[in-house]
A and B are shown apart, each in its own frame.
Chain A
């Protein structure tokens, strides 16, 4: 065995660009990456490690910004625009392929790669068949350590729901749902506007990238999400077994 060039922490932001996101919501979503970039510019410890990718999805899913170092010079951050329905299945399938390609390539280039983190932002219920997106999600997230069946590079998934997103469905996308590395989801409070909620979620995402990065860099447990009591106004967080949003 040789040596590694660097230890990298991959984050993917997956954004629903269905028609319903049009207007202030998509504008707020488009502000997420520039804000994250600004935060990373202030933190050379993390910017040496964080790799970030942007995927959007509607009836199809597209890699809008392939996994990269956001502070790389000449990087062009794309502007997302809305285009159709809400197929969760295509998003999960593209992610499965992309995470595997990215992690395999970085490992082949002798980088040490941490388990990826996916932030999944949606404003509506999936428009594709449930069995279809459920099986795509299982292919993305399921792995059995004993039998080594499944996807060993499975990401941690943190769902963000605004507007008409279905809390029960998003809750089922929290991964891992249980155990000591349990993730959470974040939902817009009733009465808030989606654009305001997305701005709050951008804050959560950035604080999570910064604190997870710091934790992982220090050999900590991995993904760190903001304390439920410390969230920006207008959003709340839930675990996979909470029921109080019903």
Chain B
């Protein structure tokens, strides 16, 4: 590469639209009254992170468009505590697979955002490494989650100077849900893609079809369905259950969107049949500008003040 700068592809774009705050239903008092306070313990951890990329497919096939946003919730803004959600994604060396992850740090742990960072980064890296040797359907999720948990334990012991802390003591300080999805960059002969999802805890994966009657299809059971009063227990790394929930395989069609989210969005979405589901389905018919995507993820709705994280993956049409 002597002397040359390798560049990416470029295209004419629409000018950036103005970003407006989004409200769905009653926005509540907090959305207008909360003044965000910094978390003095973690000054370099931003309240909002976002990304927007296109993953190019091989020459004649389509690729994927990715939008991701993670935002500190109103509650953490009010109490001056850091964002505990995280996302991560990467493309395998061979450019065949996109690996996506979303994690929600368990509130009770002061360092749970570290667990969420480790889950998304280490998790994606390890899965991408394994995919050089096996197909997504054959991934050893126990190994992935076990290794990720080991990194969380090691890091927390080192960073907090707690060399003797056992698993439970580590988990009390740093724990996070873990959601991973593997998507093929190129469509298969049928024009779609198989998606493989592993979810530990209440972070959720969905297929969104804006044009169909059933727009939101969950790729796991919906939380609290049928309970008399709401409860909030959840499984999390590094305390992984002896028996993992089974991985889910689903089909991402050319007109579908794969959406991964933490419960900050998932709780408000419910089963996806209400006004939150309607609003987001309309907003995400096509990949929005990343800034707008972050605004949509941060919609105001009374009492929904948890951190919000969404990664959405759109198949891009094959060049005609």
Q: Do chains A and B touch in the complex (CB under 8 A)?
A: yes
Write the A102-144 contact mask toward B (1 if CB under 8 angstroms, else 0). Answer: 0100000010111100000000000000000000000000000
Pair A103/B229 contact, Cβ less than 8 Å: yes
Write the A199-235 contact mask toward B (1 if CB under 8 angstroms, else 0). Answer: 0000000000000001011111000000000000000
A75 near B: Cβ within 8 Å?
no
- Rounded to whole angstroms, the CA-CA distance of A39 and B228 in the bound complex is 29
Pair A219/B273 contact, Cβ less than 8 Å: no
A-B contact pairs, 6 of them (CB 8 A): A5-B25, A7-B267, A45-B34, A48-B30, A214-B79, A217-B303
Give the residues in chain A near B305, CB-CB below 8 Å. 45, 48, 217
Shortest CB distance B213–A (Å): 15
Within 8 Å by CB of A3, from B29, B30, B229, B276, lies: B276
Main secondary structure of the interface of A (DSSP, over half): loop
Pair A6/B303 contact, Cβ less than 8 Å: yes
Shortest CB distance B219–A (Å): 15
Pair B229/A113 contact, Cβ less than 8 Å: yes
B222 near A: Cβ within 8 Å?
yes
Give the residues in chain A near B230, CB-CB below 8 Å. 7, 112-114
Interface size in chain A (residues, C-beta < 8 A): 29
Pair B107/A44 contact, Cβ less than 8 Å: no
- Rounded to whole angstroms, the CA-CA distance of A2 and B270 in the bound complex is 6
Main secondary structure of the interface of B (DSSP, over half): loop
- Rounded to whole angstroms, the CA-CA distance of A5 and B268 in the bound complex is 8
In B72-124, the 8 Å CB interface with A consists of 74-75, 78-79, 106-108
Write the B224-265 contact mask toward A (1 if CB under 8 angstroms, else 0). Answer: 110011101010000000000000000000000000000000
Give the residues in chain A near B79, CB-CB below 8 Å. 45, 214
B166 near A: Cβ within 8 Å?
no
- Rounded to whole angstroms, the CA-CA distance of A6 and B306 in the bound complex is 12
Shortest CB distance A157–B (Å): 15
- Rounded to whole angstroms, the CA-CA distance of A184 and B287 in the bound complex is 52
Shortest CB distance B277–A (Å): 6
B302 near A: Cβ within 8 Å?
yes
Pair A2/B273 contact, Cβ less than 8 Å: yes
Pair A1/B225 contact, Cβ less than 8 Å: yes
Known: A4-B270, A6-B303, A48-B302. A114 touches B276 (CB 8 A): no
A153 near B: Cβ within 8 Å?
yes
A65 near B: Cβ within 8 Å?
no
Give the residues in chain A near B75, CB-CB below 8 Å. 45, 214, 217-218
Pair A1/B229 contact, Cβ less than 8 Å: no
Which residues of chain A have a CB within 8 Å of any CB of chain B? 1-8, 43-45, 47-49, 71, 103, 110, 112-115, 152-153, 214, 216-220
Pair A3/B268 contact, Cβ less than 8 Å: yes
- Rounded to whole angstroms, the CA-CA distance of A110 and B305 in the bound complex is 18
Give the residues in chain A near B228, CB-CB below 8 Å. 152-153
B275 near A: Cβ within 8 Å?
yes
Pair B107/A3 contact, Cβ less than 8 Å: no
Give the residues in chain B near A6, CB-CB below 8 Å. 26, 28, 301-304
Write the B256-296 contact mask toward A (1 if CB under 8 angstroms, else 0). Answer: 00000000000111111111110000000000000000000
Shortest CB distance A186–B (Å): 24
Pair A3/B303 contact, Cβ less than 8 Å: no
Shortest CB distance B207–A (Å): 17
B33 near A: Cβ within 8 Å?
yes
Query: Which residue, A7, A45, A152, has most C-beta atoms of chain B within 10 A?
Result: A45
- Rounded to whole angstroms, the CA-CA distance of A49 and B305 in the bound complex is 10
9 extra interface residue pairs, beta carbon distance < 8 Å, beyond A152-B228, A217-B305: A3-B270, A44-B34, A48-B302, A49-B303, A110-B274, A112-B230, A216-B232, A218-B107, A219-B106
Known: A44-B29, A45-B305, A214-B79. A3 touches B34 (CB 8 A): no
- Rounded to whole angstroms, the CA-CA distance of A220 and B74 in the bound complex is 17
Give the residues in chain B near A103, CB-CB below 8 Å. 229
Shortest CB distance B154–A (Å): 26
Pair A2/B271 contact, Cβ less than 8 Å: yes
- Rounded to whole angstroms, the CA-CA distance of A5 and B25 in the bound complex is 8
Give the residues in chain B near A43, CB-CB below 8 Å. 78
Q: Chain A: which residue is nearest B25 at the CB level?
A: A5
In B1-50, the 8 Å CB interface with A consists of 25-26, 28-30, 32-34
Pair A219/B29 contact, Cβ less than 8 Å: no
Shortest CB distance A180–B (Å): 11
- Rounded to whole angstroms, the CA-CA distance of A243 and B269 in the bound complex is 48
Pair B304/A1 contact, Cβ less than 8 Å: no
